[in-house]
Amino acid sequence: MDGSAPQPEISIQTEDFDIAAESRRLTAGKTDIGAVASFTGLVRGSDETTRAMKLEHYPGMTERALSAIAAEASSRWPLQGIRIIHRVGRLLPGEQIVLVLTASRHRAAAFEAAHFIMDYLKTRAPFWKREETPEGARWVDARDSDDHAAARWETDPA
């Protein structure tokens, strides 16, 4: 398997996920992996106003965009596995919303690839959040800081 890019596993789902089970599945039957980095995003109940978050996405394009991001990560770092799960639908504060797992021989590649995937996902994958607050529902604004985080990888390739 050495030298061949891993087939990333990507899921868009309403159901919750189990990080430990996903991590075990990613490494099952492989002994050449030395590091699995994981990032889990949670629904943040910002200043106690967010009652729920509704996630909309662009079916078809979402999977393509995430596959492209995973492929880009594989071309930049030596990875043995990539797992991305993004939930859609209505989620409550504290719930898990996104999971990125990256497996590699060494930790640097796993850490950096997971960071890269999240930064790109934030700016390139077609998801939109609608926040339910006591004053009513509103679409969440994109943040410039996310653009800056993603842009860092353009000027500072691994």
Summarize as ranges the residues that interact with other proteins (CB under 8 A).
Answer: 41, 55-58, 60-61, 64-65, 86, 97-98, 118, 121-130, 139-142, 146
E strands, the chain, are 9-13, 35-42, 52-57, 79-87, 89-91, 96-104, 127-133, 136-139
- How many Å is the Cα radius of gyration of the chain? 16
CB of 128 to other proteins, least distance (A): 4
Minimal distance in Å, beta carbon 3 to other proteins? Answer: 28
Residue 47 is encoded by which pair of tokens? 């200043």
Q: Residue 47 Cβ, how far from other proteins at the closest point, in Å? A: 18
Nearer to other proteins, 18 or 147 (CB): 147
Beta-carbon count within 10 A of 12 CB: 17
